[in-house]
């Protein structure tokens, strides 16, 4: 049911079928969709992540969504970069809890201000921190803006579990955009 721009992936599949040389891990720019696995951006083995891979209360890890069937990694656009963080489930707001899987929550890693990747973590306050212009977001409460120049919250990516692995339950809750003018 989910529509996507799968042309590039189809071409790669066609290339595979015809025996062309193709990268080991196919990639495309389509957005994360229902049922996708999540893999670390630095993981060359493309191993689906489980909640146990993510330490509670520690700095976020960066991930891509991966098609569970053909293992295409959706990293063709930087806008698809996802941050995963695991929090004490009791501290999540009801809205965020409904999107969490075993305490793991996922958001777009692209800061809604200037589009930097939100790579930093303030452990004492349990807040996400963008190193570029010091915007902070509360991952326990829908990644709402706490401080800084960002205006919009980070779009969330609702998660679930399938056979113990983290999966995408629904697409991003909002378009991934930042201020370019």
For the chain, the straight-line distance linking the first and the last C-alpha, in angstroms and rounded, comes to 35
Contact set for other proteins, span 116-135 (CB under 8 A): 116-117, 119-120, 122, 129, 131-135
- CA dist., res. 128 & res. 49, Å (int): 20
C-beta of 7 vs 133, nearer to other proteins:
133
CA-based nearest residue to 82, from 52, 61, 113: 61
Which residues, in sequence order, are CB contacts of 95 under 8 Å at separation 6+? 141, 142
77 is an interface residue for other proteins by CB under 8 A: yes
CA angle (25, 17, 65) in 5-degree steps: 30
CA-based nearest residue to 106, from 48, 53, 41, 173: 173
Contact set for other proteins, span 9-38 (CB under 8 A): none
What is the smallest separation between the CB atom of 45 and other proteins, expressed in angstroms?
16
Contact set for other proteins, span 80-119 (CB under 8 A): 81, 113-117, 119
Applying CB under 8 A, among 4, 25, 46, 79 the residue interacting with other proteins is: 79
What is the smallest separation between the CB atom of 93 and other proteins, expressed in angstroms?
22
C-beta of 122 vs 174, nearer to other proteins:
122
Applying CB under 8 A, among 10, 20, 52, 78 the residue interacting with other proteins is: 78
Residues making contact with other proteins (CB under 8 A)? 41-42, 62, 77-79, 81, 113-117, 119-120, 122, 129, 131-135, 147-149, 177, 179-181
């Amino acid at each position: 049911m989910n529509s996507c721009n799968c042309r590039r992936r189809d071409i790669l599949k066609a290339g595979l079928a015809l025996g062309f040389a193709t990268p080991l891990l196919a990639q495309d720019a389509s957005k994360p969709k229902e049922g996708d696995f999540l893999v670390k951006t630095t993981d060359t083995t493309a191993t689906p992540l489980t909640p146990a891979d993510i330490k509670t209360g520690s700095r976020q890890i960066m991930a891509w969504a991966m098609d569970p069937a053909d293992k295409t990694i959706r990293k063709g656009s930087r806008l698809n970069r996802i941050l995963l963080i695991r929090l004490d489930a009791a501290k999540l707001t009801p809205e965020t809890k409904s999107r969490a899987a075993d305490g793991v929550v996922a958001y777009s890693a692209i800061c809604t201000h200037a589009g930097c990747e939100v790579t930093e973590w303030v452990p004492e306050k349990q807040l996400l921190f963008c190193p570029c212009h010091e915007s902070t977001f509360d991952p326990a409460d829908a990644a709402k803006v706490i401080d800084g120049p960002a205006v919009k919250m980070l779009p969330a990516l609702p998660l679930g579990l399938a056979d113990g692995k983290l999966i995408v339950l629904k697409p991003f809750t909002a378009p991934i955009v930042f201020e370019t003018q």
